[in-house]
Every structure is written in C-alpha cells, then in structure tokens.
Amino acid sequence: MQTKGTGMERPIDPIAVNLRSFVKGAIGGLEEVVAHLIPALDRHESGQGRKLLVFCQPNQEDNVRQIASSAEIVSIQNTPEGIRSHLMETPHRLLFCPLMVLEPIDSSIPGAILIPDLQHEYFPQYFAPGVLRWRRANFWPSVVRARIVLTISEFTRTTIVEKYGISPDKIVVLDLDAARTFKLPCTPRAEAAFREFRLPAAYFFYPANFWPHKNHANLLRALQILRKTNPEVALVLTGSEVPDPAPVLRMAADLGIADAVRYLGHVDREILVPLYQHALGLSFVSQFEGCGLPILEAFNCGTPVIASRAASCPEIAGDAGLFVDSAQPGEIAAAMFQFVRDDALREELKRRGKLRAADRSWERTIAVALQALEAAANPPRLAAPTPQRARPAGCWCGATDSEPFSPEYVRCKSCLTLYLSSPPADEFTRVDEFDRGFYGVDYWLSHQKNVHDPPREERARTDLPERNVYWLSHLLRRVPLGKRVLEIGCAHGSFVALMRQAGYDAVGLEMSTTIAAFAQATFDVPVLVAPIDRYPELRGSFDAIVAMDVIEHFLDPIAELCRYLEFLSPEGALIIQTPCFRNPARSWEELKRVGDAFLAQSKPEHIFLLNEDSLRRLLNQIGFNEVAVLPALYSYDQFVVASRQKLIAIEPEEYEPKLMEIPKGRMALALLDGSTLCNIYRKAAEERLMALNAATVECTVLRKAADERLTALNAVTAAYHLVRKAIEERRAPHRQGRRENEEKPARPAADTVK
C-alpha cells in the first residue's frame, strides 16, 4: 500500500505499545529504557503519518503522556483482555511490549519484547512464589512467540539462548547509555541539595533499590571490616522505599555501623550527579544485573567503580572497574581500602571510565531498536505454505469401507484400525484464548475426574518413577544426550523435567494454558502453548519429537503428524506410545468375555485405535520407513521409535558415563538404576511366584493322590469291617450253641453207669 503523493510503499498500520505494567519510579532500570525508546518510537510513527497507540493503567496516563505526547493513550485495567479486544477492532502492524513479557501472548499481530535479564532462572529464591510462577509461565512463551527480542547486554543475550534455546539471530542487544543528566555539569540546585545532606567527607555510594540480589548485606559487612582501619569512611545509600529498606538499616545497627550508613531515600536524577562526583567510588556489588546502569552513570560523572564480577558487570565496566567477588565481604573491603589509600588508582579508573562512557550513545541505541522493531513489523515474505489435505471421511488411511465393532467404534476393512463411528467436529480439538474447549482447563479439572483418572498433582508424582523412567530408558538408547526434544502433549511436565535432568534440551507443548503454567511452575520447565504453528522459528530445530498417548486423539493423524514433523530435523527420531488393538481379528464380545485391558481405551476422545500393522503403515506413509517396535510398558499399548534415516542404537556404556558427569544427570541415572532394580526384584518375585505356583500345583497333585489313597484305604477299611461283621454274624450261632452247652448241668456218674 502506498502513502498518497510519495510514490513510496509505506505500511499505514501503526505500532501498539503495552505499558500496562508501567509505574513511574517503581520499575527500576527499565524506566530509563522506556523513557528513551517510547519518545523515539512516538516521533518515528508521527513522522510517518501514523499515531502510536500506548496502553497503560488509568493512574499512569499523565506519566505516559510525558514520554509519548503524540500517541493515542488507552487506559487498561489489570487484565490483558482490553488490549486483545482493542487490537482486534483496530489494525496494528506490531505489538511492542518493553516490560519483559508479550501480553496478550496469543495476539494475532507480530510481537516484540524487551527482556533485561533472566534473574529468576539463576536466583529463584529471591522471588515471591507468585512472582516466580508468573515469570516461569510467561517469559519462555513470550521469548518464543515474539518475532524480535530486545535485551540490554551480551550477557543476557547468551542466557536467553542457553535457557530458552532460541536462535541468537532473533535477539538484538541494545547498548544502553546513561541519561543526559549525567553527561552535564552539576547544577547549582543539585549542589545545594547535596550540601543539605551534610554527608561525611569520605563515603562510598550505592544507588540501588533494596532487592535481595543488590547484595546490601555483604556491602555492610565489608564496611564493618574497612572501618576497623578507616573509621572515617561511610556508606551512602539511595533507592525506593519498596522494597522496605528497614531490614538493611537494622543490619547496619546490628553490625555497629549505623552511624556510618546514610539512607537518603529516592533521590531525583539531577541530585544523583553530585552524590556520584563527591564519592570515593561506586560500590556496585550486585549479584545479578542485566546491564548495571549505575556503572555507566558513574563513568559519566567521573566516579571510579568497584564492580561485581557477576553477570553483565564485567561486560559493562570493562577495564574501567576494580572487580570483586560479591559473595566475599573481605574482598569487597580490600577493594574499598585500595580506593581510600590509592589516589592514582582512582584517577586511572576515572580516566578509563570516561573513555568507555564516550563509546555509548542513546542515539545509536535508539536507531538499532527502531530498525529491529521495523524488521519485526515487516518480516520478509515467506513462501506459500503447502496446501493441507482434506480430512478423511472414514479411516485415517482414506478407506471408507468399515464394519461395526462396538457401540462407539467401527473397524476399517482395509487396515483394521478402529475409529469412532461418529467422529467429533473439527472444533473438538480447539482451545480458545480463555482456555475453553474439550482439551482446555476443564479436561484436566473435570473430565479426568469423571473418568476416574488421578488428578494432575498426583500424576505429576506417580508418573516419574514409572512411565517417565521407562520412556527415558528408550530415549537414551535412540537419541544422543544434549539433543533438542519436543514432547507433544506434555501434560503436567514431569517427562520434560526428567529429560532435562538427563541433559536433553527438552521442551513441552500443551493445548491448555492452565496446564502449561502448572507444568512450568511445578517442574520449572519450558512449555509452549499449542498450536505449534505459532512458533515458525522452531521449524527443523528438534532432534526428536515425543508423542506419548497423543496420536489417538488426532482427528487426522497424517495431517497432524506432518505439521509437527516440520519441526523435526531430517535425521530426527519420532517416538510414539499409543493404544494397541493387538489382535484386530477379535470381536468386541470376545474382548469383553476375557476382560481384556484394551477395553478401557474406548473413550470419546480416542478417535483412532491402531494396531501394530496400521501404525507402521501410517508412519511409512509420512516417510518414516525405519520403524522399531519396542516392548510397551502396558499390555494395551504399543511403543515405537521411527526415523526417516537409519535408526541409531546407543549402548548404556556410552550414555551412562555422560550422565555421571553432571549432577542432574546423576539423579536421572539414579532413577534409571532404581527402575532397573525394581525390575530385577519384580522379575525375581515373578520367578518365585511361578515357583510357588508350580509347587502349589505339585502339592495339589500330591494332595489329590493322597486323597485318592486315603479314599482307597477308607474303602478297604470299610470292606474289612463289613467282612469282619459278616464273619461275626456267621460265628454268632456257633458261639450261642457253645455257650448254651457250657451252661447245661453235668449228669451224675451213677446214672451214666446205670
């Protein structure tokens, strides 16, 4: 589209800026960046005949008007919904979020963000639980989703690449400069204000809000050490009253140096100039900095600098700083002592600081930022995407001839896959920006409960020692350590966490923003929010894609897998676990009669239930001709590893020593060893059970034989008693006759003679 009368092509849609989190005086060094970038962007848009749009809180409109006088300012309450709806109504070519995260994350227009540091990745203990969860839930998706990421040092650029795995080409470093006030002579007003403070003649200066990483505690300990030899030296502190400075001041009292510590509160920039100029030096002992603007302010004011060796401080101070270990109060005290006693050192560092300050320019920084934002708003045209195939009317294989199988499923006569006789509509797998849809938050909070699945909190624990360890054991044998892995449908994130423990650069993908945030907060892992097409910069970047209990949910397995495979490197591996209709010739009635465990896989969200042959056929159809079928953990599942190239095999002797080299790897190896021991014990128990069963059978046989012998013996005994009884009965008359004869009286002998 052309701008009228110029003959030049010029985009007419303006840029939108999200300053919803902006509160003047409460956002630290980012306020300095905003104070320079937003006015420049406002002038840039106005010069092109466009009106910059700025979102802010209602109570910050006047403050925002001061830095964006020509912009359209829209006040937004504490949710991003107003921004989303406004952007849907009015076209804009870019959404710029200079306060760390992309908001709304699912904006339909290109996004750019500015991230000063990733402190929460290194010092999570310094953040309140809610803030830490928010950062973990928003930083990673913002970095991946944004077209351009602005940051303020090479150090931060390196940490973003290391922690979030994005291309360094996507990150633009802005070399910040001190504000113009610090480049000008001290004003009479500032000098008068300085005199009113009535500060000691010898003091070190530290302008920093009282956040834990600013390390005031060790600076106080260093001052206590220094004052044993130099009791005249004091410490001057400035900073906001949020966070509360009281704990630091109480610590000074506990150390016995309360009279040597002066807290001046929040001081205007103009008055900071003489505070720098009259100081013995800047004691910048912060544990973590994205840039460290006070170092640059000190350079411009001619103040020598003691700086921490941590984070970006060496990069910013260069050869103009005296560096210390911020964790060692003695080392800090030694550097302060050098400044007290060695004027030549201080003068040399002042000279070097002035030279380094001269190398920086806000004009140059602004030009770099505007160029990056324009590049994000007007990216190079990409080739037209390959047309998507139409969703099949019947089976995934394209066949429509089927036979009834069960009340819910039919069986494809071509590949014998089971599929729903009434498949859901295309909207079934969609989740909107409010996490609504079948696979949205309700799937995890209501549906899982209705089908008697354990809650996500329980599964996050129980899956780790069982299925996750089993999956990892196969991954280690097929994908080298250190490679990038994407898990589709990562749920609560436990397997992503275990892969990262083992040394993989693993990332999860989930459809529900709620469960993605749960995974990030529970396991501190990066989780993308589907669809995967949101992240075109990740195409071809993964060495393995893992889909555990996922493809049975696809409305069109071929189309869905092809979408994901765009993000797999040519030699990458695809690892799948899915239900297995192991004997496709069996009927539903037969499965019910024997109580087959596969029956439980009949669910309304399981669109296709594949058998081993149909899964292999599906993989072959999308170009994966190398397919290894491995033993599944459960009898009703199948587990395969597939590749477009020859599959590799990695032996434990190769990966186990590598796991031993890193602490987290040792933990993963311990879980694997525990699983191996459990399997050994389980096998031994099964063998003993088999032996016991065999002994039981043998005992049953012996008992039966004994029973038979006892029965025979009883029969013999009974026969014996019958015979004996018969004999007794036969003998009875003879015995009776004998008894009677015995009982007759004997005849007299005379009679007998007679």
DSSP codes, 199-232: --SSEEEEE----GGG-HHHHHHHHHHHTTT-TT
Tell me the sheet residues that pair with 486.
Answer: 507, 545
Separation between Cα atoms, residue 338 and residue 334, nearest integer Å: 6
Per-residue pLDDT at 607 exceeds 90? yes
Whether 291 contacts 215, CB under 8 Å:
no
Contact status, residue 47 vs residue 13, Cβ threshold 8 Å:
no
**Which residues does 459 contact at the CB level (< 8 Å), separation at least 6?**
453, 491, 492, 494
Q: Which CATH number fits domain 456-661: 3.40.50.150, 3.30.2130.10, 3.40.50.1220, 3.30.2130.30?
A: 3.40.50.150
382 has a pLDDT exceeding 60: no
Q: What is the tens place of the pLDDT at every residue in 717-740?
A: 988 888 888 888 887 777 677 777
Q: Which comes out higher in pLDDT, residue 641 or 520?
A: 641
Q: What is the CATH number of domain 15-173?
A: 3.40.50.2000
CA dist 672 and 740 (Å) reads 97
Q: Which CATH class is domain 180-359?
A: alpha beta
With 90 as the cut, is the pLDDT of residue 336 above it? yes
Rounded CA-CA distance 591/184 in Å is: 86
Q: What are the distances in angstroms from CA 360 to CA 176, 312, 357, 364? A: 7, 16, 6, 8
Helix ranges (H only) for 278-383 are 293-301, 313-317, 329-341, 343-358, 362-377
Give tens-digit pLDDT for 505-543.
999 999 987 788 788 878 888 888 888 988 888 899 999
* C-beta of residue 508 within 8 angstroms of C-beta of residue 569: no
15-173 matches 456-661 in fold: yes
236, β-bridge pairs: 205, 262
Domain borders along the chain are 15-173, 180-359, 456-661
| Per-residue model confidence as pLDDT tens digits over 233-259 | 999 999 989 899 999 999 999 999 999
Residue 472, pLDDT > 60, answer yes
What value does the mean pLDDT of the chain take? 89
Q: Do the Cβ atoms of 109 and 94 come closer than 8 Å?
A: yes
In a 10 Å sphere around its CB, with 0-12 CB exposed, 13-18 middle and 19+ buried, how is residue 444 labelled? buried
Can you tell me the distance from the alpha carbon of 124 to that of 399, in angstroms, rounded to the nearest whole number?
54
d(CA 140, CA 669): 27
Q: Give the CB-side neighbour count of residue 586, counting CA atoms within 13 A.
A: 16
Evaluate if residue 358 carries a pLDDT over 90: yes
Contacts by 472-475, CB closer than 8 A, 24 or more apart: 472/498, 472/499, 472/502, 472/668, 472/671, 472/672, 473/672, 473/675, 474/575, 474/630, 474/639, 474/641, 475/499, 475/504, 475/544, 475/546, 475/575
Report the C-alpha gap between 523 and 496 in whole angstroms. Answer: 8
Name the H helices within 48-187. 61-67, 81-89, 119-122, 129-145, 154-164
Q: Mean pLDDT throughout 623-645?
A: 92
The two tokens of residue 276 are: 């720098």
Q: Could you tell me which residues come within 8 angstroms of residue 95 by beta carbon, excluding any fewer than 6 positions away?
A: 15, 16, 17, 18, 87, 102, 107, 109, 110, 111, 112
Q: Does residue 2 or residue 118 have the better pLDDT?
A: 118
SS3 content of the chain, % helix, strand, coil (to 5): 50, 15, 35
At CB < 8 A and 24+ separation, what contacts does 215-218 make?
Answer: 215/285, 215/286, 215/287, 215/308, 215/326, 216/248, 216/251, 217/248, 217/251, 218/285, 218/326, 218/327, 218/328, 218/329, 218/332
For the segment 645-689, what is each residue's pLDDT rounded down to a tens digit? 999 999 999 999 998 888 888 888 888 877 777 777 777 777 888
Look at residue 747 in the predicted model and tell me its pLDDT. 60
Angle (deg, nearest 10), helices 216-226 and 329-341: 50
What's the start-to-end Cα distance of the chain, in Å? 172
For residue 9, what is the DSSP state? Answer: B
pLDDT at residue 484, rounded to an integer? 95
Instruction: Please tell me the predicted confidence (pLDDT) of residue 370.
Output: 96
Half-sphere CA count of 399, side-chain side, radius 13 A: 16
Percent of the chain with pLDDT over 90: 62
For tokens 């390390």, the residue is 215
405: nearest Cα among 390, 391, 420:
420
Sign of torsion over alpha carbons 424, 425, 431, 434:
negative
Q: What would the mean pLDDT of 191-211 be, rounded to a whole number?
A: 96
Distance (Å, rounded) from C-alpha 71 to C-alpha 74?
9
Q: Residue 671 is inside which H or E element, if any?
A: helix 663-743
Stated pTM of the model: 0.61
Give, in order, the Cα–Cα distances in Å from 506 to each of 297, 320, 514, 659, 666.
41, 40, 20, 16, 17
Phi then psi for residue 108, to 5 deg, are: -80, -10
Q: Which residues contact 423 (CB under 8 A, 6 or more apart)?
A: 555, 607
| Whether the Cβ atoms of residue 283 and residue 322 lie closer than 8 Å to each other | no
What confidence tens digit (pLDDT) does each residue in 37-59 have? 999 999 999 998 999 999 999 99
Residue 383 confidence (pLDDT) above 50: no
The pLDDT, as a whole number, for residue 151 is 97
3-state SS record for 402-461: EEECCCCEEEECCCCCEEECCCCCHHHHCCCCCCCCCCCHHHHHHHHHHCCCCCHHHHHH
